[in-house]
Amino acid sequence: MLFHIRMDVQLPPSLSAGEAAELKAVEKARSQELQQQGKWRHLWRIGGQYSNISIFDVESVDELHTLVSTLPLFPYMKIEVLPLCRHPSSIRDDDR
């Protein structure tokens, strides 16, 4: 199942620069691990915002929730999830 996800990050002002840098480093490693597994298929930054648009390829909504909730920045995110399905006018044979 493919999902389009928008993640908006809002770190608390009380977080020190060092704590924020460490959190971002761990987040980067986790996101790259999920990308290497093929679960996090695409990742784009939204210009001028601390936000991204991503495409996840998972077996279920439960798997998606489990994966997203493992992200170190999850407690500081506003997340919007949109399930995707094939459009009948698409010229592609598959979602890969």
Question: Is 80 exceeded by the pLDDT of residue 93?
Answer: no
The answer to whether residue 40 sits within a structural domain is yes
CATH of the domain at 35: 3.30.70.1060
Is residue 91 in some structural domain? no
Q: How many domains does the chain fold into?
A: 1
pLDDT at 87: 86
Q: Which CA distances in Å does 34 have to 8, 48, 66?
A: 19, 25, 12
Provide the domain limits for residue 11.
2-84
**Residue 95's pLDDT band (boundaries 50, 70, 90)?**
low
- The DSSP bridge pattern shows strands 40-45 and 51-57 to be antiparallel
Q: Cβ contacts of residue 84 below 8 Å, gap of 6+? A: 1, 2, 3, 4, 55
Indicate whether 95 belongs to any domain: no
The answer to whether the CB of 1 falls within 8 A of the CB of 58 is yes
Whether 96 has a pLDDT exceeding 70, the answer reads no
Give a yes or no: residue 93 inside a domain: no
Segment 6-57, tens digit of pLDDT: 999 999 999 999 999 999 999 999 999 999 999 999 999 999 999 999 999 9
Burial (CB count within 10 angstroms: exposed 0-12, middle 13-18, buried 19+), residue 49: exposed
Q: Is residue 69 part of a domain?
A: yes
**pTM recorded for the entire structure:** 0.89
